């Protein structure tokens, strides 16, 4: 074949073709080869295969594959292609030419093969991943069934026709049916006849895609006995989002329900006993008043009629009787106030203007304020949901204490209130003798005092009364103090709306016993 024959036969063929001598000198190239190798047809015809190969050493190897039967073993060659390279599959045949023999070569770019190889590789990876995922799923499902089986809670799955699909070991223990007995049966197997409607309600909720959490109900064992259970049931959907089943976890709460019932009964009994005791204390305090009044009356008469006639000892005895009766009267009065603090008479629904109530309390303490030269300062006290009488009791006790437990300085007392979320926090601060912090809880107990009556008069009931009133509103009372550094009593009163929304009367109130 001559270059002209080649041009005639392969010039316009879409496949890249070269005509070369057996030693690799190119005799002719077609347009497709020129395009593939990015060179001109004439340029190619003036060069050798080694010149255009990226690794010329491979050309000799390829040409040596030329076999005696006149066919070339196909092989791959990398050609220079401008700045890059192109890998081609090269195959060809030995043709006779007028003067000697020539090689007719066909070049096939290997890009397609590479692409095919990559695609194949990707598919293999994908298949591998699928196999791995399936193994994972299998492993996870083995793990899951081990967990389900070892669970202490009964785990039962059912389809949307209420047919039991699975039944774990705990379900066997709880309900008394083996898995073989239960699977395939309707779930109504364990529903008491009187609660049979529950199942349709549950199924309707599940069909709506709702999850049922801690639904407390009663289920039935194989032997017919009932048990309290807490059920958690959630719908299971398939890949298309259709609900295909509903696994149910049932926890036996019979013991808890029994304990709760016992606790509730004990609580009720305690409340009844407490109410009886309070009623008793109130009646005792009330009924003792009458005979006590007789004792005070007659001991005072004794003092008037026979005072000075019975000798010093006789006078002293009569004085003790009069003082004892007076003290007992105060104790009984405070005990009555204390028990009254929990009566329904002062239930919810009160409303008091703390500024006004403070004024009333100070009026009651007028004598003590004057005698001690106390000054009381307050600002912006709010309206609070409490009965006026109760707030008066609180102020009177706290301010009365602040005056009574004064140091050698004239008492200086600050009353204020701060809004905090849904409550007001009041404070009553004094500059008195202070309290050892180790007694800061004790002082709120009934009849609890830190001083003798001769040192400081008192019944030990004031703070107990305050605590009772405040705790019944849902508030708290506490003290911050140190010996010799004054005390601050805090108490909170909850309000239905944020405390800051209730306007405090911005009135600076200064009541001074001096001057």
Interface residue list for ligand ADP (CB under 6 A): 397, 401-402, 405, 430, 432-435, 443, 448-451, 458-464, 487
C-beta neighbour count of 209 within 10 angstroms: 11
**Range list of β-strands (E), 30-146:** 75-81, 84-96, 101-109
Pairing of strands 508-512, 375-379: antiparallel
Closest approach, Cβ 266 to ligand ADP, in A, equals: 31
**Range list of β-strands (E), 382-513:** 383-384, 412-420, 423-429, 477-481, 487-494, 508-512
Pairing of strands 164-167, 212-220: unpaired
Closest approach, Cβ 462 to ligand ADP, in A, equals: 3
Closest approach, Cβ 335 to ligand ADP, in A, equals: 12
For 474-501, the three-class secondary structure string (H helix, E strand, C coil) is CCCEEEEECCCCCEEEEEEEECCCCHHH
Closest approach, Cβ 410 to ligand ADP, in A, equals: 15
Q: Which two tokens stand for residue 114?
A: 């590479």
Q: Which lies closer to ligand ADP via its Cβ, residue 53 or residue 337? A: 337
Closest approach, Cβ 393 to ligand ADP, in A, equals: 11
Q: Which lies closer to ligand ADP via its Cβ, residue 157 or residue 397? A: 397
Closest approach, Cβ 308 to ligand ADP, in A, equals: 33
Q: Would you call 394 exposed, middle or buried from its count of C-beta atoms within 10 A (0-12, 13-18, 19+)?
A: buried
Residue 36's alpha-carbon distances to 24, 40, 86, 390, in angstroms, are 18, 10, 8, 104
Q: Which lies closer to ligand ADP via its Cβ, residue 205 or residue 449? A: 449
Residue 255's alpha-carbon distances to 150, 156, 195, 259, 261, in angstroms, are 21, 21, 21, 6, 10
Coil, helix or strand at residue 158: strand
Rounded Cα–Cα distance for residues 300 and 235 (Å): 85
Q: Which lies closer to ligand ADP via its Cβ, residue 370 or residue 451? A: 451
Rounded Cα–Cα distance for residues 483 and 485 (Å): 6
Q: Which lies closer to ligand ADP via its Cβ, residue 228 or residue 364? A: 364
Angle at the Cα of 476 from the Cα atoms of 472 and 478, rounded to 5 degrees: 135
Rounded Cα–Cα distance for residues 89 and 62 (Å): 11
Closest approach, Cβ 399 to ligand ADP, in A, equals: 9
Q: Which lies closer to ligand ADP via its Cβ, residue 309 or residue 438? A: 438
Closest CA to 354 of 320, 380, 323, 375: 380
Closest approach, Cβ 378 to ligand ADP, in A, equals: 16
Q: Which lies closer to ligand ADP via its Cβ, residue 72 or residue 337? A: 337
DSSP state of 502: S
Q: Which two tokens stand for residue 392?
A: 């008066």
- Please tell me the total number of residues recorded for the chain in this structure: 515
DSSP state of 422: T
Q: Which lies closer to ligand ADP via its Cβ, residue 62 or residue 479? A: 479
Closest approach, Cβ 346 to ligand ADP, in A, equals: 19
Closest approach, Cβ 250 to ligand ADP, in A, equals: 54
Closest approach, Cβ 427 to ligand ADP, in A, equals: 12
DSSP state of 410: P
Q: Which lies closer to ligand ADP via its Cβ, residue 188 or residue 330? A: 330
Closest CA to 76 of 50, 49, 109, 45: 109
Q: Which lies closer to ligand ADP via its Cβ, residue 221 or residue 327? A: 327
Q: Which lies closer to ligand ADP via its Cβ, residue 32 or residue 399? A: 399
Q: Which lies closer to ligand ADP via its Cβ, residue 243 or residue 446? A: 446
* Phi-psi region at 409: left, alpha or beta (left = phi > 0; alpha = psi -120 to 50): beta
Provide φ and ψ at 70, rounded to 5°.
90, 5
Closest approach, Cβ 467 to ligand ADP, in A, equals: 9
């Amino acid at each position: 074949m001559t270059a002209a024959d080649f041009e005639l036969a392969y010039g316009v063929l879409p496949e890249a073709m070269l005509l070369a001598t057996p030693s690799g000198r190119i005799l002719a190239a077609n347009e497709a080869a020129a395009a593939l190798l990015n060179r001109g047809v004439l340029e190619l015809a003036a060069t050798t295969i080694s010149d255009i190969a990226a690794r010329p050493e491979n050309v000799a190897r390829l040409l040596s594959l030329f076999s005696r039967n006149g066919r070339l073993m196909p092989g791959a060659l990398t050609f220079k292609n401008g700045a890059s390279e192109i890998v081609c599959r090269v195959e060809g045949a030995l043709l006779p030419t007028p003067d000697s023999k020539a090689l007719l070569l066909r070049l096939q770019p290997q890009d397609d093969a590479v692409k095919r190889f990559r695609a194949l590789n990707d598919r293999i990876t994908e298949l591998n991943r699928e196999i791995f995922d399936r193994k994972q799923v299998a492993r996870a499902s083995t793990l899951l069934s081990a967990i389900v089986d070892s669970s202490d809670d009964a785990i039962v799955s059912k389809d949307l026709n209420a047919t039991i699909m699975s039944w774990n070991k705990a379900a066997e223990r709880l309900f008394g049916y083996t898995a073989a007995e239960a699977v395939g049966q309707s779930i109504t197997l364990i529903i008491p006849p009187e609660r049979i409607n529950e199942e349709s309600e549950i199924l309707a909720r599940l069909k709506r895609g709702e999850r049922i959490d801690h639904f407390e109900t009663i289920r039935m064992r194989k032997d017919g006995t009932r048990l309290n259970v807490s059920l958690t049931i959630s719908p299971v959907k398939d890949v298309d989002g259709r609900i295909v089943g509903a696994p149910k976890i049932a926890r036996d709460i019979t013991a808890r329900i029994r304990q709760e019932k016992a606790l509730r009964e004990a609580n009720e009994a305690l409340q009844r006993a407490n109410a009886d005791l309070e009623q008793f204390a109130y009646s005792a305090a009330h009924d003792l008043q009458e005979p006590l009044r007789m004792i005070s009356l007659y001991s005072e008469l004794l003092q008037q009629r026979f005072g000075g006639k019975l000798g010093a000892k006789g006078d002293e005895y009569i004085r003790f009787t009069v003082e004892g009766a007076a003290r007992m009267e105060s104790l009984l009065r405070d005990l009555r106030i204390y028990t009254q603090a929990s009566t329904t008479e002062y239930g919810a629904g009160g409303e008091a203007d703390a500024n006004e109530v403070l004024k009333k309390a100070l009026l009651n303490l007028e004598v003590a304020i004057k005698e001690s030269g106390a000054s009381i300062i307050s600002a912006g006290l709010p309206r609070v949901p409490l009965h006026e009488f109760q707030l008066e009791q609180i102020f009177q006790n706290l301010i009365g204490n602040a005056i009574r437990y004064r140091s050698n300085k004239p008492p200086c007392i600050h009353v204020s209130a701060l809004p905090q979320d849904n409550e007001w926090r009041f404070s009553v601060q004094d500059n008195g003798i202070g309290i050892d912090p180790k007694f800061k809880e004790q002082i709120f107990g009934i009849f609890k005092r830190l001083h003798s009556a001769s040192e400081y008069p008192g019944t030990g009931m004031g703070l107990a009364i305050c605590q009772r009133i405040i705790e019944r509103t849902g508030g708290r009372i506490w003290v911050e103090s140190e010996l010799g550094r004054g005390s601050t009593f805090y108490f909170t009163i909850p309000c239905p709306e944020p405390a800051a929304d209730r306007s405090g009367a911005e009135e600076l109130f200064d009541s001074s016993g001096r001057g």
